[in-house]
Amino acid sequence: MEFDQSGVNALMEITSRPDLVFVRGQGAWLEDHNGKRYLDFMQGWAVNSLGHCPPQVVEAINRQAAQLINPSPAFYNQPSMDLAKRITGASCFDRVFFANSGAEANEGAIKLARKWGRLHRNGAYKIITFDHSFHGRTLATMSASGKPGWDTIYAPQVDGFPKADLNDLDSVRALVDDKTVAVMLEPVQGEGGVIPASPEFMQALRKLTSDLGLLLIVDEVQTGMGRTGKLFAYEHSGIVPDIMTLAKGIGGGVPLAALCAREEVCCFEPGDQGGTYNGNPLTTAVGIAVFDAVTAPGFLDSVNARGDQLSQGLLALSRKWGMKGERGVGLLRALKMDRTDGARIVETARDWNPEGLLLNSPRPDLLRFMPALNVSADEIDLMLARLDEVIAKLRG
C-alpha cells in the first residue's frame, strides 16, 4: 500500500529517506504504514532509552500536559527543579540548565566556558576538541566537531576550536596556549564510529587540564543516562569533569537536554543564557520518569548484562564472517567490518521480510548498535540471528 506522498516535497530535503512511514512504536519494535514490523536497534539515534512509547513516558506526558505545559522559563516549575535535583544528586555537578537538544546544551557549555575564561583566564576562549568528534549542528557546535568536511560547508567557522587526536595527550598539550580555556570531548565518540576515550586518557586529560587551570567538558549527549552501563560515562574513569552536557537518552524520545556544571564554573548571570522552551515542565516531567527508570535498582546491571551479550554476539559474527571485531561500552557498540558494505547491510536488513531490522552505519565499514536500554535478551538474539541472515544473503 502506498502512503499519502503529497507532503513529501513540502519537506526540505535534509537526508534521503526510504519510501515508508512509521505509524506506531512499542518497545523494541516499530510498525510502518503497511503494518510491517521492524526490530529497532537505532531507537531514534539512541534517544529512546526505554524503547518506543514506554508507559512511564506516556503517563508523564499525559499527566503533565493536562496540568501545565509551559509557564515560561522566567518562572520556577516543579518538574524542572525536581529533575535538576536528581541530576545533581547523582553526579559531581551542582547546577543544571535545561535545553532542547544536544547541540543547544553544547552551545551553552561553550558559552559558559568562554564567559569563565573572560572572568578568570584573561579572555581565554579556545576550546580544544578532537578529530572525528561530533557535538551538534549549530554553527559553533559544527565548528567544535571534528567531522571531515564540516570546516567548509558553512564557512567561515566559529573561531577557537583546535583539534587534537583522541587518546593522545601530547596532541592536546601541543595545542594549549594562553587563549585556551577548556578541553571538550565525548567519553565515547559516537558518530565518529563508537571510539572510546581510554580511562587512562581521561585521567591524564583531567590532570593536565587541572594543572593548567583549564576546564574539562564532557559531551555525554550520547553516552549519558545509562547508555554505557554507568549513569554517566565519565564515571568509568573516576574523574570529576567541570561541565557535562546531556540530551538524547534523558528525554526518552522528547526534546530535552541539560547543561550541568560545578558551582565554581557557574558564572552565568541573569540574561546570559535562556530560551523560551528551556526547562519546561512537560519535557522535564518526562526526564524525571526516564531518570527514575534508569536509576531503579538493577536497571544498570541489566544494561551491562545486555551489553556483554551484544558484545559476545557481535564477536561471534565477526569471527564467522572474517570481520575485524567489535568495540564499545555498555549498549553503545559497533561491529568493525572487513568491507565497506555498511549501507547495503542497513538497507537489506530494513527491507527484510516479513520483519525488518533497523541498523545504523556511521561509516561504510562499521555498524553501530544503540538499542533501548531495556532491550531483552531475546531481542538481542533475534537481532544477531537476523543480521547473520542478512550478511549471508549479501556475502554468502
What are φ and ψ of residue 254, in 5° steps? -95, 155
Q: Is 163 helix (H, G, I), strand (E, B) or coil?
A: strand
Give the helix, strand, coil percentages of the chain, each rounded to 5.
Answer: 40, 20, 45
Cβ-based nearer residue to ligand PLP, 43 or 222: 222
Work out whether 106 is an interface residue with ligand PLP (CB under 6 A): yes
* C-alpha 349, offset from chain centre: 23
Work out whether 107 is an interface residue with ligand PLP (CB under 6 A): no
**Grid cell 541472515 in the structure block, residue:** 389
Work out whether 289 is an interface residue with ligand PLP (CB under 6 A): no
Q: Is the peptide bond before 156 cis (omega within 30 degrees of 0)?
A: yes
Work out whether 132 is an interface residue with ligand PLP (CB under 6 A): no
Task: Supply the minimum distance, in Å, between the C-beta of residue 338 and ligand PLP.
Answer: 26
Cβ-based nearer residue to ligand PLP, 97 or 134: 134
Angle ∠(193,199,202) on CA atoms, nearest 5: 85
What nine digits make up the cell of 354? Answer: 516479513
What are φ and ψ of residue 69, in 5° steps? -100, -50
Provide the pairing of β-strand 163-164 with 22-26. Answer: unpaired
Work out whether 280 is an interface residue with ligand PLP (CB under 6 A): no
Q: Which of 197, 247, 317, 366 binds ligand PLP (CB under 6 A)?
A: 247
Which parts of 162-221 interact with ligand PLP (CB under 6 A)? 186, 190-191, 219, 221
Cβ-based nearer residue to ligand PLP, 100 or 374: 100
Task: Supply the minimum distance, in Å, between the C-beta of residue 8 and ligand PLP.
Answer: 23
Residues 6+ apart with CB under 8 A from 346: 359, 360, 361, 367
Work out whether 360 is an interface residue with ligand PLP (CB under 6 A): no
The span from the CA of 321 to the CA of 324, in Å, is 9
Q: Which of 136, 146, 330, 371 binds ligand PLP (CB under 6 A)?
A: 136
Q: Which of 134, 201, 234, 352 binds ligand PLP (CB under 6 A)?
A: 134
Beta-ladder partners of 30: 25, 38
Q: Which of 96, 99, 103, 259 binds ligand PLP (CB under 6 A)?
A: 103
Beta-ladder partners of 179: none
Task: Supply the minimum distance, in Å, between the C-beta of residue 255 and ligand PLP.
Answer: 8
Q: Which of 73, 102, 146, 249 binds ligand PLP (CB under 6 A)?
A: 102
Cβ-based nearer residue to ligand PLP, 190 or 252: 190
The count of chain residues that interact with ligand PLP, using the rule CB under 6 A, is: 15
Q: Alpha helix (H) ranges present in the chain?
A: 43-46, 55-67, 78-89, 102-120, 139-144, 169-173, 199-212, 281-294, 299-320, 342-350, 377-395
Q: Which of 52, 115, 132, 135 binds ligand PLP (CB under 6 A)?
A: 135
Which parts of 21-60 interact with ligand PLP (CB under 6 A)? 45
User: Which residues bind to ligand PLP, rule: CB under 6 A?
Assistant: 45, 101-103, 106, 134-136, 186, 190-191, 219, 221-222, 247
